[in-house]
Structures are given as structure tokens and as C-alpha cells.
Amino acid sequence: MEFIKPGINIDFMGKWKIGFILSIILILISIGSLIVHKGPNYGIDFAGGTLIQVKFSESIPIDKIRDGLTNVGLKDASIQKFGHDIDHEYLIRTIRSEMSGSGLSQSITEAVKASTGITPEIRRIEMVGPQVGEDLRNKALLAIFYTLLFITIYISARFENKFLISGVIAGSIMTVVYFLSVFNVGITVLIAAALVVSLLVFWIFKFKYAIGAIIALIHDVTITIGIFSILNLDFSLPVIAALLTIIGYSLNDTIIVFDRIRENLKGSNPTDSLPILFNRSINETLSRTILTSGTTLIVVLALYFLGGEIIHNFAFAMLVGIAVGTYSSIFIASPIVLFGEKK
């Protein structure tokens, strides 16, 4: 199916400066928000503590719920509405995780009933210890890092036929990361340093496709996390799953464009202009890109609006990631490969 007629000639490479400026602005805003908020708004999965979801038969002022929680020693708990207003549901979060599920449920039910006059329905209780939360957070960051690393190694081996060098680089970086983690180096600093070293190594070995792919993927992940930070949305395990899905989706789109670029480079004349050749490659894959992104967005939109609050943040991360990933394949990854070809 051809969504866009053959022969279209949009000058994508001529707009690379606009694309880079827009991306730099979004990344700076994202990093600034993360600095101001001291990282993402970690959910119970990563921060540890207890989350309780309660439902009432009618709307209840949050102050009355807080009064009841204060009587059971949960003065520090945060309370927010959950779902639609007609549901009369609330989320209660506290950093305490030492109370048992049944004891906590009974205490909250009695205390809130006394302060509001209505017996609440306890819909769910989730507890995560602080150490478990920290371990989950570190493992999630490592999962994202290793995903990025193996993807770039795969790109290098596939598009530049440097299988041995790619394997050696992967093994070396993994070894360094492992040994540094043993010495309790901060996981965020460790991963940032490893990514910088990876980019330098790829530059030395002229892995232009790998550089384009990894910068585009870092771009996608950073902006998605930044938007979560700006909107103060919970950053939890489902969001990590969404980020890993976004990485795979963005890579798929990038590989489609890279494949056509490589084919056109092989069949080009020495007099062909590289920007024109890259533009032709992107235009030839534009129909497939729009169709793939469009159909995926329809499914994710259905999840976002109809899937319920539990997967709301997952679907939102997917929406942002698909849009940003499609954009980065054209305006970030492709221009970087073009610069590499010129060098």
C-alpha cells in the first residue's frame, strides 16, 4: 500500500539544523526538569513504600481522608484523586512499608470511616521495601543501558560488517561496567560515562551507523523521561517496559531508513550528491514510516483512553516515544550518518 505517491521529494536533509535545534531545546528542558525535580518522580516500584487505592461511594474531601490517616500514624502520606471523578477513588502513598497488608487495611478502613463517616473500599495495597526499590531502579537502568549497547553493536555488525570489532567493544564495555559497579560507583554516573565512552569508541572505529542509532535512541529516551518529569507522572516498572518497547520501535524505523540509504549508496554514481541521495532514501521509505507509526498510534491511543488508569502512564510513554522515535529516525539518525559519510 502506497500512502504517499512515488516521486515525492521533501528536503529533509535541508531541515537538519531546525531538527537539531528543536531536539537540543527539548533535551535541555528535559534535563533541566530532571535536575529541578532531582530525578524522575519514582513510583512505589523504585522509591519503596506503600501505595493504597481506596474507593468511596461518594466524593470525599481530601482533608477528611488525611485527618483519618493522621490518626494511624500516616501523617506524611500523600493523597490524590485516581481515575475519573465519578469513580470517587483515591491513591494514598506513604514511605512506610513495615506494616502488614491486613493490619494496614483494617487500620485505614476504621480510621477513614471515623473521619469521613463512609466505609472505604480498599481496592489494592502495594508494598515495596526501600532496598528492593533501589535494586529495581538500578536493574532497570542497566536494562536500558545494555539494550542500547547491544543494539548499537548489532547495527555496527549489520551495516558495517565489523563483527569481530563489535564483539570486542561490547565485551570490553560490559566488563568495565561490571567491575565499576562492584566498587559502588553511582549507577547513573556509571551508565552516563559508559555511553560517552561507547560513542568515542564508535567514532574512533568510524561506526557511523552505530553513532547515529545510539544518539537517536538516547534522544528518544531522554525526551520521554523528561516529559514524565515535567508532568510529574509516576516513573514505574511499566514505564521502563514502555521505554524498552520504544527503543525497539525506534530502532526498527531507523533500520528501515538505514537499509535504503545503504542500498542507494551502493548503487550511486560518484557524482551523486550525498544530501540528495539521503533525501531520496528517506522519501522512498516515508510511506512505510507513516503507515507503521499511524497504525501503532491508533492501538496506543485506544490503550490510553480505554485501557484504564493502571496502564495510563505506560500508554502515554508509548505515545510520546513513537512520535519522538519516528522524528529522530529522520532528523537525528540520518543526518548523523550523512556527516559520517562526508568525513
Q: Which domains does the chain have, with CATH numbers?
A: 13-43+132-342 (1.20.1640.10), 49-128 (3.30.70.3400)
Give CA separation, 10 vs 13, 261, 274, 334, 340, in Å. 9, 15, 15, 14, 22
Asked if the model's pLDDT at residue 108 lies above 70, the reply is yes
pLDDT band (50, 70, 90) for residue 193: confident
Whole-number pLDDT of residue 96 = 67
Phi, psi dihedrals of residue 270, rounded to the nearest 5°: -55, -25
Give CA separation, 144 vs 58, 100, 192, 202, in Å. 43, 33, 12, 19
Taking only the tens place, the pLDDT of each residue in 124-165 is 877 776 666 677 777 777 777 777 777 777 877 777 777 777
Burial of 27 (0-12, 13-18, 19+ CB in 10 A): middle
The helix/strand/coil state of 74 is: coil
Where is average pLDDT lowest: 33-47, 69-83, 90-104, 109-123?
90-104
The helix/strand/coil state of 331 is: helix
Taking only the tens place, the pLDDT of each residue in 49-98 is 778 888 888 888 888 888 888 877 777 777 888 877 788 888 888 776 65
> What average pLDDT score do residues 315-319 get?
93
Look up the pTM and report it.
Answer: 0.82
Where is average pLDDT lowest: 68-82, 152-166, 171-185, 249-263?
171-185
